[in-house]
Structure formats: C-alpha cells, structure tokens
A and B are shown apart, each in its own frame.
Chain A
Amino acid sequence: MDLNTKYTPQSWPDHPENSTLEGKNKFVGFWLFLGGETVTFASLFATYLALKNKGPSGMEFTTQGLFELPLVFIMTMLLLTSSLTSVYAMYHMKNYNFKAMQAWLMVTVLLGAAFLGFEIYEFSHYVHLGFTFNQSAFSSAFFILVGTHGAHVLVGLGWIILLMVRNAKRGLNLYNAPKFYLASLYWHFIDVVWVFIFTVVYLMGVMG
C-alpha cells in the first residue's frame, strides 16, 4: 500500500474502508470489539435492572422522582442526529470529498459535545440532590451504566477530533479511510447503546 498514491473521485475504490489488507483486518477486529462491547453494556444493564431503586431502608430516591424526560428527549435527539451526520460524513468519504467529510464530522463532534454537556449537567444535578455514586446500590448501578456510556461518548469525540486534526493536511487515502470508517461505526454503536439507555433506564424508570 503506497501512501503517496493520489486518488481522484474516478479512481477511488467503491469500498475504501476495506480495499487494503490492513483495512480488512481492522474491519474484522473492530466488529469483534463491538461484540465485546455489547457484552460489557449488557452486564451493566443487567446490574442496573437487578439493583434499580434498591438501597438502604428509607431511601428517598427513586427513578420516578429523579428522572426528567424533557432533558432525556433533547439528549436523544442530539445523539440520533449526530448518528445521521456521521452517515453523511461517510457518504462524502466514499465520494472522495475530504472537505465535506471533515465538515460533517465537525457537526457530529459538536452534537456529541452538546450531548455530553447535558449529561454532565444531569449528573451534577443528581449529586446536588444527594444522589451520589456511593449513596446506594441503585445510584452506583445507575452512574456506572450511564457513566460508561458517557465515557464512550468522550472517547468517541477524542477519537474523531484526533483523526480530523492528524489528517487535516493529508487528505483521504487508503490508509486513513478505514480509520474514519471505524470511528463512524463506533459513533453509531454509541447511539445503539443510548437507544436502550433511554428506553430501559429513563422511559421505564419514569413509569416505575
């Protein structure tokens, strides 16, 4: 694989993400990682479901008292939209349009950062109420589950920003195309997990 090969939209392969051996290996390895991530989050969901609303006797915190759906709705829309913008980024990557890809990735990063800002606000609000990490089995399970997701958002943001900065002057080639593709897969996976979080934690929590 010659990194200096210059491509044109006409010579850019249909599947730049796996048209090299390295790209193919990354693709398979990354899906194996996503399978492992599924198990990680499933075990955190299992812990949360088992410990939901459980704590010391007389505990005043419940899912019904704590959660506010309008905030969760805004966060859901932000993350879902950022998933679409990263689809746009990969659409332009496959068309060999580097600038448009970077622009859509920038939009994705901004939406993701807004999501993270709301999550930090939410957590600090709970802590002010006295619902801290070690307050109860329920609070530990909640913060670990939603916090691990938040950490994934943070890692995803860092990953995409690093890719954008490192390749800003390089443009697209068959060495970095798989990297951009996998970062967008990771971003979609973060949204997949959030779909279950807003359903199982927040919507089902508000109903009791």
Chain B
Amino acid sequence: MAHDVHTHVKSQTEYEYKRRRSANEMRGQLTTFAIMIFLTLIAFTAVYAGFSPNLVVPIILLLAVIQVILQLYYFMHMSHKGHETASMFLYSGVIVGLITVLTFVTIVWW
C-alpha cells in the first residue's frame, strides 16, 4: 500500500490554465444539462400530444438512449482518457442486459 504520490506544485501560469480548462469543462456540462432537460421536455410533450404510439415509442426510446449517453460520457466523464476498462465493464453489462430484455419480451407469455 505504501507508495509515494508525486506532488507537483503548479506555477501560477499552470494553475490558471488548469482553472480555465476546468471552468470551460463546467460550461460544457451546463450545456449538456440544458440538452438533457430539452430531450425530457420533448419526450413528455410527444406523449401528451397524443400521436400514435407506434410513432412516439421509438422516438422516446431514442431520446432516452441519447440522454443516457450524455450522462455517461459527460457527467460520468467516460469521454475522458483512462476509461477503457470502465467502458468494457459497462458495455458488457449493457450487452447482457439487452439480451435479457429481448429474451423476456419474446419468450414470456401470459
């Protein structure tokens, strides 16, 4: 367990660069949030408008998938470097999950 953590004290320029970069990233996160709110509003409105379910269901499912991708890649930082193993674990779960859903909706009847 005992291992050294290298401490690097940033110069003023490096520090200001870091602060600016992370402020920029936070602005991006706010944009992501605005898009997610917008997608949610579209989904609820589409259902309220009372179009045919055959049209609305694929649309709201697509909106949900987009929103989840935004959440994973921006809010949960999967777009950052060093998330290869994380992606492998998550996508393995997603594949098993999709097969499970597909199986249950096709072979279970009442």
Residues of chain A having any CB pair with chain B under 8 Å:
1-2, 5, 7-11, 13-14, 18-22, 27-28, 31-32, 34-39, 41-43, 45-47, 49-51, 54, 69, 73, 76-77, 80, 83-84, 87-88, 91, 94-95, 137, 174, 185, 188-189, 191-192, 195-196, 198-200, 203-204, 206-208
| Majority secondary structure of chain B interface residues (helix, strand, loop or mixed) | helix
Residues of chain B having any CB pair with chain A under 8 Å:
1-3, 5, 7-10, 15, 18-19, 22, 25-26, 29-30, 33, 36-37, 40, 43-44, 47-48, 53, 56-57, 60-61, 63-64, 67-68, 71-72, 75-76, 82-83, 85-86, 89-94, 96-98, 100-101, 103-105, 108, 110
Could you say which of B40, B56, B68 contacts A192, with CB atoms under 8 Å apart?
A: B68
Q: How far is the CA of A27 from the CA of B89 in the complex (A)?
A: 12
A-B contact pairs, 17 of them (CB 8 A): A1-B5, A11-B7, A11-B9, A27-B86, A31-B86, A31-B90, A37-B93, A38-B90, A41-B97, A42-B98, A49-B104, A69-B48, A192-B71, A195-B67, A199-B61, A204-B60, A206-B47
Q: Which residues of B contact A27 (CB under 8 A)?
A: 86
Contact B71 A11 (CB under 8 A): no
Contact B1 A1 (CB under 8 A): yes
Among B10, B33, B93, B110, the one with the most A-chain Cβ atoms within 10 Å of its Cβ is: B93
Q: How far is the CA of A185 from the CA of B35 in the complex (A)?
A: 20
Q: How far is the CA of A208 from the CA of B105 in the complex (A)?
A: 16
Contact A10 B101 (CB under 8 A): no
Contact A199 B43 (CB under 8 A): yes
Contact A39 B57 (CB under 8 A): no
Q: Which residues of B contact A45 (CB under 8 A)?
A: 97, 101
Question: How many residue pairs at the A-B interface have CB separations less than 8 Å?
Answer: 156
Given contacts A31-B85, A84-B33, 7 further A-B contacts (CB under 8 A): A13-B5, A35-B90, A46-B101, A69-B47, A87-B33, A137-B110, A207-B53
Q: How far is the CA of A28 from the CA of B44 in the complex (A)?
A: 36
Contact A35 B93 (CB under 8 A): yes
Contact A5 B53 (CB under 8 A): no
Could you say which of A32, A84, A206 contacts B29, with CB atoms under 8 Å apart?
A: A84
Q: Which residues of A contact B108 (CB under 8 A)?
A: 50-51
Given the known interface contacts A76-B40, A203-B43, A208-B53, the answer about A14 and B18 at a Cβ–Cβ threshold of 8 Å is yes
Q: How far is the CA of A174 from the CA of B67 in the complex (A)?
A: 32
Contact B89 A32 (CB under 8 A): yes
Q: How far is the CA of A208 from the CA of B57 in the complex (A)?
A: 10
Given the known interface contacts A34-B90, A49-B105, A203-B60, the answer about A87 and B29 at a Cβ–Cβ threshold of 8 Å is yes
